[in-house]
Chain A
């Protein structure tokens, strides 16, 4: 009799232990840090893989590096897989000080790498290794108001020279038409980069070495163009999200704007209030003496995983799945970087009645072929250096040509501080 309670306890104990054991055998726990937009991707993976249990945590874009630093320093709760919203995260998370990202160049098969859009993984290629897979591509294309251009009787430019001429013609009418922002850091940097201006190009084969030279002809040529267009008012001295530009754009005065693949859907449609049937995309511009355009990028996220994770196979499977699976990417918020699901996703964009033509995605896909291989992940922020040295002056009455040398100095200092050799 006295033994009964013990027996009961024993039974329960055995039962619960076996349950626990089977549960832990069945499911591998993987910790994932994601932004809000990518949660659905990870949930889809979780649902498709009953043997894996993803523990999801939403981390703000600006806090990712901070939180990761703390977790790694505390040696606790370091996530196995992360989504990186910024193109600079891969570089920031693979330094001597913060050595988080695993090199996947020998883990992920070559077929997968080959399936990405051209240069999509340029931000993931650092010092000979590949540290992440690109989720979405965000190269700059030309967004324009088609009915407005027809009404004005003007053609979509193909070269920078035509772009400048169009700006001059339109402003000469004095009706307030303009061609976008001439001071938005991402756009100006994009224009300089597309022109071949070495604003921080990684040197092939040399570890942590950058080329920063803003005194060359490609820089001066583009800066001169921007200055002239700011001077005559065809590019505004307001950023893309500043009230000054938004007011004029909402008044129907914006004819076109350089913008990344997500610019139409997430900036021009909601902020500039471009009505349905107006907006469409065109190829990025080139110089008249060059035979093809170059597209710089603005944004795009990446998946990577911890080099010390206990489950590297699962982690690499997650990031491969997340970037290549058509079923969930077809509903992605931005243009997938992997070609095949990207095309499936593009069907939706092409058929979107909001756009004036049904080839918006085709244009973005064609433009992807010209993505710059120099668009890299860097350990410092090119944009804040721009804000520090250029914005104040350029937004009032300054000339970009005069500011390039200060910007070059700031970029060089910032690069050296972040541990780069500058050529």
Chain B
């Protein structure tokens, strides 16, 4: 009864409804057309390679024979895997937490400054990020050598006289976290600056009138409003961190004693494919790595209600 009466009250002429529906459909088609080029690229260079690797991980790629989970078993039997996993867990934990705390803190502080000063400082922060991470590694190999580094005095304070002392003292995990932090945080500071400048002035004004000081404004007003940008930073940093490759791979440039070709899981996958020629085990490792990344990203997205629109 209720339903029919409701339907009856709308009473829209049939042809107008049809026209509106057609318009809606046309809008939908247009939006699909807009995302189509990206979808094609995503399919070709993102989805299909993942499916291909997934399929390959169940084959002996040398003779092309299906052999079930043998590749996974062999990957797990690799004596270097456990250590590599610990390495990346340590690296990700350190890098992500430092990035979130320092970048958010710096961004909130920059937001207090006048716009021109803040923009200048942001640009300076961004500069190291404009260098590719491979070049950053080479740069760092010099920065951590007490004989040529501008931080000589700091290193000498700790009693570090040679590059090896610095590398030992910091540990590979912190060293790579520092390298990555300086390579990537500048970009995030700019993103955060954008998020903060988008906040409504009225809200800020109101909080000031209500007597909130700068600290309270930053922590209780601004931070909750840019929370999603912080979460995004966390998710992307984490996904990138799990795939760490360039930093340890290039350590060998400082001499064979620093070479760590098996430091991260990604490096192991690379080594299996390109130095041992076993694409199957490489695909198995890569599949496991992407599964972990996607799972963690999904958990974070749901936990932070990332896509929920208020």
Contacts and interface: CB of A to CB of B under 8 A. Distances in A.
Contacts of B277: 65, 69, 72-73, 95, 97-98
A47 B257 CA distance: 42
Interface stretch (A219-227, A241-249, A254-262): A241-249
B256 A185 contact: yes
A417 B78 contact: yes
Contact of A384 (B161, B162, B256, B278): B256
Contact-size category for A: 35 or more
Contact of A247 (B147, B168, B256, B273): B147
A247 to B, nearest CB: 7
Given A73-B279, A417-B78, A418-B276, A396 B164 contact: yes
Interface in B62-79: 62, 78-79
Given A96-B62, A185-B256, A384 B261 contact: yes
B196 interface: no
A300 interface: no
Contacts of A243: 145, 147-148, 163
A136 interface: no
Interface in B142-159: 145, 147-148
B283 to A, nearest CB: 12
Contacts of B260: 384, 387-388
B195 interface: no
A383 B252 CA distance: 11
B256 to A, nearest CB: 4
B274 interface: yes
A386 B161 CA distance: 22
Contact-size category for B: 20 to 34
B120 interface: no
B274 A395 contact: no
Nearest to A383: B256
Contacts of B61: 73
B276 A97 contact: yes
Nearest to B261: A384
A184 B147 CA distance: 18
Contacts of B259: 381, 383-384, 387
* Interface residues of B, dominant DSSP: loop
Nearest to A244: B162
B228 interface: no
B100 to A, nearest CB: 30
Contacts of B78: 417
Given A97-B276, A185-B256, A395-B257, A417 B164 contact: no
A185 B164 CA distance: 14
Interface in A345-366: none
Contacts of B140: none
Nearest to A416: B79
A381 B257 contact: no
Contact of B258 (A184, A237, A387): A387
Interface string B153-183: 0000000011111011000000000000000
Contacts of A405: none
A395 B161 CA distance: 11
Contacts of A386: 256-257
Contacts of B145: 243
B79 A392 contact: no
A118 interface: no
B63 to A, nearest CB: 9
B158 to A, nearest CB: 12
B275 A65 contact: yes
A103 interface: no
B37 interface: no
Contacts of A65: 274-275, 277
A387 B253 CA distance: 12
Contacts of A185: 256-257
A413 B79 contact: yes
B255 interface: yes
Interface string B14-26: 0000000000000
A22 B164 CA distance: 62
B168 A396 contact: yes
Contacts of B278: 97
B261 A239 contact: no
A73 B273 CA distance: 10
A97 B62 contact: yes
B256 A387 contact: yes
B275 A395 contact: no
A235 interface: no
A339 interface: no
A391 interface: yes
Contacts of B262: 384, 388
Nearest to B148: A243
B79 to A, nearest CB: 5
A186 interface: yes
A95 B256 contact: no
B203 to A, nearest CB: 53
Given A66-B274, A72-B277, A396-B168, 11 more contacts: A69-B273, A69-B275, A73-B277, A97-B276, A243-B145, A244-B147, A383-B259, A384-B256, A387-B252, A391-B257, A395-B168
27 contacts: A66-B275, A70-B274, A73-B61, A73-B277, A73-B279, A92-B276, A97-B62, A97-B277, A98-B277, A183-B257, A186-B256, A237-B162, A238-B162, A242-B162, A243-B148, A243-B163, A244-B161, A379-B276, A381-B261, A386-B257, A387-B258, A388-B260, A392-B164, A392-B167, A392-B168, A395-B162, A413-B79
Q: Please name the 9 residue pairs, one residue from A and one from B, whose CB atoms are nearest each other, closest first.
A: A391-B257, A395-B164, A97-B277, A98-B277, A66-B274, A243-B147, A383-B256, A387-B257, A413-B79
